[in-house]
């Protein structure tokens, strides 16, 4: 996408061949049509270079080429980020040709064959089936998914898939090795027989993981003459699943934990049979209790409604988590349900909640450190402790890591800004220049659209209807003043139209943003950065930014941007002054 940072301050000497002769009055004699023709030719060279360099790629599709041209090379995209003169636009186009396009080609030439090789290896080593391998390659080549999403998945998420496959493959080999050594046949143990059943390799990862775990647990139990005890434990765990207290995927995990244990056989028997300090029946009772608490929470939500910002999870996801994570979730959900008077809560705690809900662990940690230094009341300290437990639990379950940049944050920001839609780049730049607290406020407005979408308050159709009505609704506000209810505002009218929330208003406003009102909106965000009502109730809907791109920026770009901005603020001494 176009970024003003791509334009240098000096005109390269080779650009002079595109300039017309200047008259005595210093004006350029080349007319606008000729200038446009010059830029069009440069654009065509860029696209030929891109398509030639990626001619052998099937991960980069025609959709990607169209979007690249539109978002990086078009006069419209360049103008949106302030690149308006012929010389500036031509320079930006040529820098795409010399820098950006070679980088894209290099990255795809590296990642695509690497991904294909990893899928081939997984198939050849028996970690996945031929059908699964074909499915992964089809996803790589799917034109419905833009390259940037494939890029993020391959670099950030796929390594975890690969590690899981490898570990599962190793455990399958372990089953085969033990069975060969002990003469165990598939017909001897049902759990072992499942692994050689037709279609097993095509089953889901979780099913295969659970089946292999059960096989290893059954083999261990048979090897120590405890098959009856194994059957009893399995029956108890199956009943826990039937009672909606345990995820079916966790049965194998628990059976392995019990029967592959190096504990004294007597202790293992006592654990299964309900003796000792924390035996299996007691654990199952705790799981059932947690499940009942979840059901009560769901009933309460149905009756009272969901408190905004908090993301409530499904029962399946709840049961898939570790017990400690389930309890942390229930405790935090209880706080969220009780805290109906948000105006009475410390605003920094509310900001921390939002960062956790956005899964920006680095920003949440940063704000937690600031909160601990404030001398919070015991009640607020308890809330902070609950948030920290909930964050750590979610982070552990999802394998999330904070972004820890080590290079020049200014350089990293420029690379990140290039991935932000051109229409909002000026807004992002202005917020970045004003520091972490203003950028965090912008992020809160960006987050609110994501939350509204995921909770059914907005969708493509609703947003389009609101956009069409926004001019009329805004004119009403300008003539009659702000009311106490919902407002639907077009930001092109500037500051008078945007509610400031200084008078205790507690109702939502949707801002339909267009680039020409960047300066005004930045002022509103700067003014509202310490006003939680403004951050809580204001939803930003940027014109031309589809929801897929919006959520990508929220979860993949914003966390890294915030980390860079904090580093810059710290270097400039802004953090202490904020």
**Angle at alpha carbon of residue 318, lines to 316 and 320, rounded to 5°:** 70
Express each pLDDT in 523-551 by its tens digit: 999 999 999 889 999 999 998 888 888 99
Q: What is the pLDDT of residue 10?
A: 39
CA-nearest of 82, 83, 89, 1 to 37 is 89
- Predicted confidence at residue 11, as pLDDT, reads 38
| Close Cβ partners of 108 (under 8 Å, ≥ 6 residues apart) | 54, 57, 59, 60, 147
* Gap between the Cα atoms of 36 and 2, Å rounded: 18
Query: Which sequence spans correspond to the domains of the chain?
Result: 4-124, 184-287, 309-398, 409-577
Pair of tokens at residue 432: 């970045």
The per-residue pLDDT for 405 is 67
Q: Specify which residues 510 forms β-bridges with.
A: 488, 539
How far is residue 250 CA from its own chain's centroid? 26
The pLDDT of residue 263 is 92
pLDDT tens column, 186-208: 999 999 999 999 999 999 999 99
What DSSP state is assigned to residue 125? T
| Phi, psi dihedral angles at 182 (to 5 degrees) | -100, 0
* CA 187 – CA 192 distance, rounded (Å): 8
Q: What is the pLDDT of residue 181?
A: 95
Residue 481: per-residue pLDDT:
85
The rounded distance, in Å, linking the Cα atoms of 403 and 564 is 9
CA angle 146, 150, 155 (to 5 degrees): 150
User: Could you tell me the sign of the dihedral formed by the alpha carbons of 231, 237, 238, 239, in that order?
Assistant: positive
Output the CA–CA distances (angstroms, integers) from residue 112 to 100, 106, 115, 391, in the order listed.
18, 10, 5, 34
| Residues of the chain predicted below pLDDT 50 | 1-27, 29, 576-578
Provide the token pair at 515.
């680039």
Q: Under 8 Å CB-to-CB from 371, ≥6 apart: which residues? A: 346, 348, 349, 352, 384
3-state DSSP of 107-120? HHHHHHHHHHHHHH
Q: Which residue blocks in 434-542 are alpha helix, DSSP H? A: 436-454, 460-480, 518-528, 532-537
């Amino acid at each position: 996408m176009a970024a003003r940072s791509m334009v240098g301050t000096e005109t390269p000497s080779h650009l002079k061949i595109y300039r017309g002769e200047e008259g005595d009055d210093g004006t350029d004699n080349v007319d606008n049509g000729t200038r446009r023709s010059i830029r069009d030719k440069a654009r065509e060279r860029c696209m030929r270079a891109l398509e030639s360099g990626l001619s052998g790629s099937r991960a980069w599709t025609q959709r990607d080429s169209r979007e690249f041209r539109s978002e990086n090379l078009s006069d419209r995209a360049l103008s949106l980020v302030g690149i308006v003169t012929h010389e500036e636009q031509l320079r930006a186009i040529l820098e795409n040709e010399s820098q950006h396009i070679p980088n894209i080609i290099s990255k795809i030439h590296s990642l695509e064959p690497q991904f294909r090789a990893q899928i081939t290896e997984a198939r050849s080593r028996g970690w996945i089936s031929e059908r699964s391998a074909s499915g992964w390659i089809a996803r790589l080549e799917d034109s419905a998914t833009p390259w940037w999403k494939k890029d993020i998945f391959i670099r950030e998420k796929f390594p975890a898939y690969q590690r899981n496959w490898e570990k599962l493959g190793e455990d399958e080999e372990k089953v085969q090795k033990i069975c060969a050594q002990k003469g165990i046949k598939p017909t001897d143990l049902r759990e072992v027989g499942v692994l050689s059943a037709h279609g097993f390799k095509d089953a889901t990862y979780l099913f295969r993981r659970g089946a292999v775990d059960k096989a290893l647990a059954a083999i261990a139990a048979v090897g120590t003459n405890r098959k009856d005890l194994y059957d009893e434990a399995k029956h108890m765990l199956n009943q826990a699943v039937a009672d909606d207290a345990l995820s079916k995927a966790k049965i194998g995990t628990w059976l392995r934990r019990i029967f592959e244990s190096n504990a004294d056989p007597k202790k293992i028997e006592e654990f299964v049979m309900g003796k000792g300090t924390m035996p299996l029946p007691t654990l199952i009772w705790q799981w059932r209790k947690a499940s009942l608490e979840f059901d009560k929470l769901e009933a309460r939500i149905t009756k009272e409604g969901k408190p905004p910002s908090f993301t409530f999870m499904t029962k399946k996801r709840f049961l898939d988590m570790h017990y400690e994570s389930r309890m942390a979730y229930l405790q935090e959900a209880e706080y969220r349900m009780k805290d109906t008077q948000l105006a009475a809560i410390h605003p920094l705690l509310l900001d921390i909640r939002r960062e956790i809900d956005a899964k920006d662990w680095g920003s949440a940690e940063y704000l937690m450190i600031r909160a601990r230094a404030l001398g919070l009341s015991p009640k607020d300290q308890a809330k902070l402790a609950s948030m920290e437990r909930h964050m750590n639990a979610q982070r552990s379950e999802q394998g999330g890591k904070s972004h820890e940049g080590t290079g020049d944050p200014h350089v990293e920001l420029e690379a990140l800004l290039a991935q932000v839609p051109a229409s909002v780049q000026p807004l992002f730049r202005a917020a970045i220049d004003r520091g972490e607290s203003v950028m965090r406020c912008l992020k809160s407005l960006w987050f609110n659209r994501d939350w509204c979408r995921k909770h059914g308050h907005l969708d493509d159709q609703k947003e389009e209807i609101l956009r069409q009505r926004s001019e009329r609704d805004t004119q009403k506000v300008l003539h009659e003043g702000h009311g106490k209810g919902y407002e639907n505002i077009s930001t092109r009218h500037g500051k008078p139209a945007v509610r400031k929330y200084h008078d205790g208003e507690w109702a939502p406003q949707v801002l339909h943003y267009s680039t020409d009102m960047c300066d005004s909106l930045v002022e509103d965000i700067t003014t509202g950065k310490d006003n939680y009502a403004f951050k809580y109730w204001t939803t930003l809907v940027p014109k031309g930014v589809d929801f897929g791109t919006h959520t990508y920026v929220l979860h993949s770009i914003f966390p890294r941007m915030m980390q860079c901005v904090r580093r810059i603020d710290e270097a400039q001494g802004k953090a202490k002054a904020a």
